[in-house]
Amino acid sequence: MNLGTSTSIRRRLTMVLLLISSVVLALAMAGFLVNDWFTLRTALFERLNAQASIIGSNSVAALAFQDRASANETLNILHSEESIAAARLFDVDGEHFASYQRGKDVLPEVLPLERSGFRDGQAFVVLPIERDSNRYGSILLVSDFSDWKKRQRLNLLTAGGLLVLSLIAAVLLANWLQRLVSMPIIELARTAREITEKQDYSLRAQRFTEDEIGRLVDDFNGMLKQIQVRDQELHTIQEQLENKVESRTEQLTMLTKQLEYQAYHDPLTGLANRTTFDNHLRMSIEQVDRYGGEIAVLFLDLDRFKVINDTLGHAVGDKLLIEVAQRFSECMRASDTLARLGGDEFAVLMQHLADSAGAADVAHKLSSVIAEPFAIDDHTLHLSTSIGICVYPLDGKSPEAILKNADTAMYCSKALGGNRFSFFSSDMNVRVERRMLLENKLRDAVQNNRFEVNFQPRCDTKSKAIVGVEALVRWTDPEEGVMSPAEFIPVAEECGMIAHIDEWVLERACLEVLDWYDGKSPEIKLAVNISPVQFTRKDLHLVIESILQRTGFPGSQLELEITENLFGADKPEIHQIFEKLVELNIEIGVDDFGTAYSSLSRLKQLPLNTLKIDQSFVRDLGKDVDDEAIVRTIIDMAHNLNLKVVAEGVANELQYRFVKANNCDMVQGYLFGRPAPGGDIKSLLAQAGRVPADRTGGRS
């Protein structure tokens, strides 16, 4: 019988009830049988004893008087007792006296020592035969045990039958009774299974009884209620989670798209990035290699963007770049690729190029759109770009070479002053390398302070007396010797080092000139060149004021020279800076006047003091009537605007006489003095008695 965990509770209950009833019944039966056996046995022996006692008693006299016949007669009475198999009388000496035997000989010759017992499967008793305490002999009575055995068998059969009947009754009762226990449990299990199958926690188990199972049903239903609440909460949470997952998935998808976009686009401008540009360039080159034709790469670098970025901040720089990208994009065809390669570098890939002129047109268009002022925050920014153009397959054989050569061409444009485009040519590499070398040297010079200041006298036209000096920066490279300012100043401007150089020159010149006058206010004007890019700094006046305070140089004796192209467009911020400088009593002069296109109205609006006629006009005075007319016009115009005029580059008397004749206020040039170290100028002034003589003995 397997009553393992897989057996149904009904069957197990039935089996348990059956087992209990069977064991109890069997034990009861066995008890009864054993009891019956002992009772019958006891009764048997009691009967035997009684019979033996009677026979013995009746045989006393026979034994007493040795009357065997009488004894035999008495024993023969036992014939009517079927249960008695045999009997024997023994005399007092234990000798056989008389016997009775029903069937076979079962009697022992010798009197048994036991009073009762079984012998050869038959019960026997031995009783002494006494009278008045006098013993006459013994009687042995042997019972025919077969009847007793039959009765025992009958009892056993009866008990077995009763046991079977009881078991049948027990089966029926157990089958009926187990339902009292199992039915509520089975019903509970059925409900639990239904809940599991339907996932319906609103179902409840039916309560049939008030007992422990009934309480179990109550607890089960209570648990179900909690599960139902939890399930509902879980559903709610699941929905929220799914919504969140969906939202997160959307976010991730967007992020993926964004990352994918960022992988191929410039995050600031939204243009293609270098990776995309490289891919497009590579594919375009493959197309050209397969189908022929030409493609062009335009490498663009914004001129002096770094200065804007450094002075106005990255936020302004970024906005400017976005605007630049927007303007560039408007110039593109659908088949072109415009990319931002990094910083202020852009690149254009032009496919299906008919000829080089098409690339030039685009370069020109790009230069034009960027030339328009940019209104970023409160700033009006003027920008130009240097463009290098490289054509495949003419100027390179690989995407890398094409891009590098376009970069080289761009550097050439930049070296030529920027705001222009250049087609790549093989000799450009030399120039670019030169420029890069120069840039490195310049950084080294700034770091190691390899600059010095020279001064060129500025004289009154009429008296030829020195009325001022122009501070000029000089740079002597350990390897190349004296470097030309015309070569390194643009590089310094481009690389953002010009501010450092200008400030250093200003401070150094102020200190030297003051030194000439022993720290007293100088009588001459000190003119110092300030790069136009400096005027993008809103704090320029603060920087200059700081230098004046540090050096103690009077602002009234300082003139800042700026180039004419600073006034190209209306720049309110420049106007503000000028006003701040005027508040410091600083004068402002326009250097190299005539080389650009200054608006007269702008000149009039600004608080200018001096115009310096570019030496290119002065150089041909007396030879070129046009230049003479220009110079004469400039002088007249300046005077009309109440500006003083300086003619620079006056190298001979002819030139001097012309400007003098035309009422030029001041002259500057080799005729009056070459740029020289401060000590030399001081000597000149000392000779004229205008400054104290150098006690250490300066050059005279």
Based on the shown chain and the rule CB under 8 A, indicate whether residue 135 belongs to the binding site for another protein.
Answer: no
Nearest CB to another protein, comparing residues 130 and 694: 130
- Please give the Cα distance from 43 to 95 (Å, whole number): 29
Based on the shown chain and the rule CB under 8 A, indicate whether residue 55 belongs to the binding site for another protein.
Answer: no
> Closest separation between CB of residue 149 and another protein, Å?
35
Based on the shown chain and the rule CB under 8 A, indicate whether residue 107 belongs to the binding site for another protein.
Answer: no
Residues 6+ apart with CB under 8 A from 63: 71, 89, 91, 92, 97, 129, 136, 137
> Closest separation between CB of residue 141 and another protein, Å?
19
Based on the shown chain and the rule CB under 8 A, indicate whether residue 134 belongs to the binding site for another protein.
Answer: yes
Based on the shown chain and the rule CB under 8 A, indicate whether residue 62 belongs to the binding site for another protein.
Answer: yes
- Kind of pairing, strands 345-350 and 481-483? unpaired
Residue from the set 93, 105, 109, 132 that interacts with another protein by CB under 8 A? 132
Q: Which stretches of 599-667 are DSSP H helices?
A: 600-605, 615-619, 625-640, 653-661
Based on the shown chain and the rule CB under 8 A, indicate whether residue 58 belongs to the binding site for another protein.
Answer: yes
**DSSP output for 508-550:** HHHHHHHHHTTTSPPSSEEEEE--GGGGG-TTHHHHHHHHHHH
> Closest separation between CB of residue 100 and another protein, Å?
17
- The site for another protein, by CB under 8 A, has a size of 14
Based on the shown chain and the rule CB under 8 A, indicate whether residue 66 belongs to the binding site for another protein.
Answer: yes
> Closest separation between CB of residue 73 and another protein, Å?
9
Residue from the set 11, 16, 53, 67 that interacts with another protein by CB under 8 A? 67
Nearest CB to another protein, comparing residues 56 and 594: 56
- Please give the Cα distance from 394 to 355 (Å, whole number): 11
Helices 428-448/485-495 angle, 10° precision: 80
Is residue 498 within 8 A of residue 534, CB to CB? The reply is: yes
Residue from the set 18, 44, 52, 60 that interacts with another protein by CB under 8 A? 60
- Please give the Cα distance from 552 to 545 (Å, whole number): 10
Residue from the set 16, 61, 268, 332 that interacts with another protein by CB under 8 A? 61
Distances (CA, A) of 389 to 300, 368, 425: 9, 16, 10
Based on the shown chain and the rule CB under 8 A, indicate whether residue 427 belongs to the binding site for another protein.
Answer: no
Binding piece for another protein, criterion CB under 8 A, among 58-66, 411-419, 461-469, 540-548: 58-66
Residue from the set 115, 131, 314, 500 that interacts with another protein by CB under 8 A? 131
> Closest separation between CB of residue 130 and another protein, Å?
11
Based on the shown chain and the rule CB under 8 A, indicate whether residue 276 belongs to the binding site for another protein.
Answer: no
Structure tokens at 405: 């050569």
Residues 6+ apart with CB under 8 A from 470: 455, 456, 458, 527, 528, 529, 561, 668, 675
DSSP 79: G
> Closest separation between CB of residue 59 and another protein, Å?
9
Helices 653-661/625-640 angle, 10° precision: 40
> Closest separation between CB of residue 135 and another protein, Å?
11
Nearest CB to another protein, comparing residues 62 and 513: 62
Based on the shown chain and the rule CB under 8 A, indicate whether residue 2 belongs to the binding site for another protein.
Answer: no
> Closest separation between CB of residue 70 and another protein, Å?
5
| Range 280-284, long-range pairs (CB < 8 A, 24+ positions) | 280/337, 280/349, 281/337, 281/349, 281/399, 281/402, 281/403, 282/399, 284/349, 284/351, 284/392
Residue from the set 15, 19, 54, 64 that interacts with another protein by CB under 8 A? 64
Give the residues across from 558 on adjacent strands. 526
Residue from the set 22, 49, 53, 70 that interacts with another protein by CB under 8 A? 70
> Closest separation between CB of residue 60 and another protein, Å?
6
Give the residues across from 591 on adjacent strands. 563
Based on the shown chain and the rule CB under 8 A, indicate whether residue 65 belongs to the binding site for another protein.
Answer: yes
Residues of this chain that bind another protein (CB under 8 A): 57-58, 60-62, 64-67, 70, 131-134
